[in-house]
Structure 1
Amino acid sequence: MKRKNIISLFLLSAGCMLPLCASAQHVYSLDECIEAALDNNVRMKNAQNNLRMVEHSKQEAFSKYFPTVSAMGSGFLADKSLVRMGLSPEMQMAFMKNGLVGDVSATLPLFTGGQIVNGNKLAKVNVEVNRLQQRQSQNEVTLTVENYFWQVVILKEKLQTISTLDKQLTQLLQDVETSVQAGVTTRNDLLQVQLRQNEIQSKRIQAENMLSLSRSMLAQYIGHPADSIEVAATLKDTLPQGPEGLYTPPEAALATTNEYNLLQQNVKASSLQHKMAIGKNLPTIAIGGGYAYENLLGKDHTFWLGFATVSVPISGWWGGSHDIQRQKLQLRNAENQLADQSQLLVIRMKHTWDDLNDAYKQVKIALLSIEQAKENLRLNTDYYAAGTCTMSDLLDAQSLYQQSRDKYVEIYAQYEVKKREYLQVTGR
């Protein structure tokens, strides 16, 4: 048998991957995985609960605008009258041995130093902060799903490559065994093929274990049983669309980012807390009225009453002035942080854009490496057929081709993740 026939199978399926066995699992696209995670992930559920809690706090703060209504009632029973009067040595008068007292009153604050107004504004700020934090959680969950998804794709592609190479090696082993029996090829070539088969089987076991783990992690993260999902993604040896259409100027994108808006809300909250600290040290004015009942002298007595109160925190000014200064400094810190973090956000956008372009260039290089590795394998096949290279050289060429394909799928997945990171960092 000619050596050309022995190794012809190496190039027969170069660049073609055999699909893994189909299963009954539901096949999810990346968008479906993201949608399922946003619906089922614990982090998203907790973020939604946090938003509902601050919305209830906002409603609670709004209730401070309304009058405070209270009711009180009490009674007593004594073994002796509480009040005794001597009208004369022979005549004594006693009363209030038992009695009842009750009232219903309402108090409406007219002026509280702006504490109620600013408290409601602060509650609205807290709602907006939690909305922004919920969007941040959305972004982080989405990015995590994308990483898990592409990790599964990478491992599936590697297993497809391993399956193709293993099939080639199985056929090659049969051909080499025939050649050894015919005395055309040395037994050393046979041993090298067997060793490469062992290496491929070891890599298959590792990849299958990692795939099982990665699929389970993805399923758990999107809220599905571990064995219920499969991912739908097939990579082709083609250059993906470039990142040019995704670019946006960092300064223009700054105002749309969650991070920047959170910094702005922090400044608003600090300003309101400063105003509330001032309000705590201002007089408060309230009016009220009520309906009262008493029976202390054995006779029912009801009446209406109205009142007004003015409270001035005289002694509180000493400690309150320090609280005001503390809140003022806190406001300055928030303003400083807004200016500083805004600059860092712009730098981060530029850096992420550079990373995205670098990843795209790496994809180009990886595709070129596949073509070069394929050509190297073809040449070594011809050389081996002509007897000018060894089986070791041919197997090394095969290994380089496998490495180039593995590198390509890893870099392609990295490029897809970098696109998601850039869109998120620019507020999209």
Structure 2
Amino acid sequence: MLGAAVVAGRAQEVRPWTMDDCMRYAAENSLKVRAGQHRSDTYVAEYRAAVAGLFPSVGARIGGQLNYGRSIDPQTNTYNNVSTFNNSYAVYASLPLFDGGQLINEAKAARINRLLGRHELRRAQDEAALAVMEAFANVLYYGGTVRLASEKLDESSRMLHKTQRMEELGMKGAADVAQMAAQMAADDYNLTHQRNLCDAAVRTLKEAMNYPTDKALALDTTVAVPPTSGEEEATTEEIFLRAKADNPTMQAAECRQQAARYQYRVARGAMLPQLTFEVGISTNYFRNLADQHTTAFSKQFFDNNRGEYLALTLSIPLFDGLSRYTSARRARNTMRIANTERDETLRQLRTAVEQAVADREGFAKEAVQMQRKVEADSIAYRVTLRKYEEGLSSAIDLQTAANTLLEARANLLQKQLSYEIKRRLVAYYQGEGLATESETPRKPSQQFNPSTSQQTNPSTIQQFNPSTSQQTNPSTIQQTPWIYN
């Protein structure tokens, strides 16, 4: 249900959501963003583990053994039936001196993956924000078509009443009255249809935001657009170079490429010999349960049975069923795939930038032409209406002119919203944020209404509000939110 908050107290209770507010909410609450946060945390933990792997590994071991029945006497090396108890202790440390660079390359790969997690998280936030931006624009569009359809229904109702009066005066016939009644019924249906489309757009917006569906959502229908500066706009190539250096999708692809290269080095290092240094100390306590004169625990532990050792271990892989060779080949192919995917991502980014710039310029031109068409159709409708009142045109001619004007105004609103989306998208490729971190202040300036014919250049659009049809003084702008349940 679409309704306007016309009561001042009601408007103060509900803070309207701007497009930036909705985008920021989605970037913080999207389920994909939450999953990206968990993946990023995993990459951080893996990086810490890889760095810790460069340090010596230290361990301790404690064991106890109680023997019953026949066993070997360690002093005489003969079997006896004496029960014994043995308690062993050991502390040891090992340090890989050479492992083919596996540990170093694993640490480098983990460091790249940590950056990858950050880029993927930012990409998830940007994707959520962009999806909400389109959904918000759809809500504005269908909200505008609801207003246009409502105005058209009011106009049809007024014309039906006027035609009935003219019939009573003998100026119009019953056919004209029937034609106007049919047009009013069609306009009533169109209003209901547009409201249904608007409700569906609101549900899509809430889904994209991960916003509770059972809560009302008050939307600020004013979209702020910064005025065009006098500086020369960046070329497509300049925008592409900025996007290549800052776009999270591109950076994630480059991180995967680098991580795959380090993983290939790890797999190659596993085919080389490994040299490990070990140091340790061990002791034990032994007791013959049948002998009452056992040496004291402290003397055995610290003096009699204590021993230390140093060791160098050289491990040379000779044959393991081609496991290492297969792993290296798999890692090499993974690296080549990552290189290919990085090139494909770069190509897609260039195409996306070129398309966004072309769409922005195209929608700007289309909006200018559509504005002129709205002006021309408005004049044509007023002329046809005057002729209809004078009996010089039929009801069908009036309906055709009215429908043409309605379609032109709806198309103008669509082109203006499409231009705003593409303008924001191009700015995003240039490195501007999507309002996912901090509040973007709205600068009051010129109030632009898509349904009027005053503004003709989209490059100078500063603010437009699909929910209003009057040109407003910027110093006295009072925004009235749409509240959706």
TM-score calculated relative to the size of structure 1: 0.85
Matched, 1:104 2:88: no
Q: Aligned AA for 2:34?
A: K
Partner of 2:24: 35
- Could you tell me which of 306, 310, 314 is aligned with 2:309? 306
Whether the aligned pair in 2 keeps the contact of 1:83 and 1:95 (CA below 8 Å) is: no
Partner of 2:182: 195
For 1:195 and 1:421, locate their aligned partners in 2 and report how far apart those are by CA, in whole Å.
Answer: 43
CA deviation vs aligned residue, 1:116-141 (integer Å, no higher than 9, x gap): 11111111111111111112112211
Q: Aligned AA for 2:267?
A: A
Any idea what SS the aligned residue of 2:95 has?
strand
For 2:169 and 2:42, locate their aligned partners in 1 and report how far apart those are by CA, in whole Å.
Answer: 82
Partner of 1:349: 353
Whether the aligned pair in 2 keeps the contact of 1:78 and 1:97 (CA below 8 Å) is: yes
Give the direction of change, closer, same or farther, for the CA distance of 1:235–1:367 in structure 2 (3 Å limit): farther
Give the direction of change, closer, same or farther, for the CA distance of 1:376–1:244 in structure 2 (3 Å limit): farther
Which structure has the highest helix share of the two?
1
Whether the aligned pair in 2 keeps the contact of 1:192 and 1:392 (CA below 8 Å) is: yes
For 2:74 and 2:102, locate their aligned partners in 1 and report how far apart those are by CA, in whole Å.
Answer: 51
Any idea what SS the aligned residue of 2:16 has?
strand
Q: Aligned AA for 1:307?
A: L
Structure 1 residue 63: deviation in Å? 1.5
Matched, 1:412 2:412: no
Unaligned 5+ segments in structure 2 are 289-294, 433-485
Any idea what SS the aligned residue of 2:168 has?
helix
Partner of 1:128: 115
Any idea what SS the aligned residue of 1:167 has?
helix
Partner of 2:483: none
Any idea what SS the aligned residue of 1:249 has?
helix
- Could you tell me which of 139, 150, 172 is aligned with 1:185? 172
Partner of 1:287: 277
Partner of 2:216: 228
Structure 1 residue 62: deviation in Å? 1.5
Whether the aligned pair in 1 keeps the contact of 2:59 and 2:91 (CA below 8 Å) is: yes
Matched, 1:147 2:137: no
Partner of 1:4: none
Structure 1 residue 85: deviation in Å? 8.7
CA deviation vs aligned residue, 1:53-75 (integer Å, no higher than 9, x gap): 11111111122122222222222
For 2:220 and 2:320, locate their aligned partners in 1 and report how far apart those are by CA, in whole Å.
Answer: 67
Partner of 1:119: 106
Structure 1 residue 356: deviation in Å? 1.8
Structure 1 residue 425: deviation in Å? 4.1
For 2:147 and 2:271, locate their aligned partners in 1 and report how far apart those are by CA, in whole Å.
Answer: 73
Matched, 1:363 2:362: no
Whether the aligned pair in 1 keeps the contact of 2:73 and 2:79 (CA below 8 Å) is: yes
Give the direction of change, closer, same or farther, for the CA distance of 1:125–1:235 in structure 2 (3 Å limit): closer
Q: Aligned AA for 1:245?
A: E
Whether the aligned pair in 1 keeps the contact of 2:61 and 2:90 (CA below 8 Å) is: yes
Structure 1 residue 28: deviation in Å? 1.0
Any idea what SS the aligned residue of 2:233 has?
helix
Matched, 1:401 2:405: yes
Any idea what SS the aligned residue of 1:296 has?
strand
Any idea what SS the aligned residue of 1:293 has?
strand
Structure 1 residue 41: deviation in Å? 1.8
Partner of 1:45: 34
Give the direction of change, closer, same or farther, for the CA distance of 1:97–1:394 in structure 2 (3 Å limit): same
- Could you tell me which of 387, 404, 407 is aligned with 2:391? 387
Partner of 1:278: 268
Structure 1 residue 183: deviation in Å? 2.2
Whether the aligned pair in 2 keeps the contact of 1:289 and 1:304 (CA below 8 Å) is: no
Give the direction of change, closer, same or farther, for the CA distance of 1:42–1:249 in structure 2 (3 Å limit): same
User: What is the root-mean-square deviation in Å for CA atoms of aligned residues?
Assistant: 3.0
- Could you tell me which of 50, 57, 60 is aligned with 1:68? 57
Partner of 1:9: none
Any idea what SS the aligned residue of 1:282 has?
coil
Whether the aligned pair in 2 keeps the contact of 1:80 and 1:97 (CA below 8 Å) is: no
Report the count of equivalent residues.
405
Taking the TM superposition and a 5 Å limit, the aligned residue runs for 1:14-25 are: 20-22=4-6, 24=10, 25=14
Give the direction of change, closer, same or farther, for the CA distance of 1:279–1:367 in structure 2 (3 Å limit): same
Q: Aligned AA for 1:197?
A: M
Unaligned 5+ segments in structure 1 are 1-18
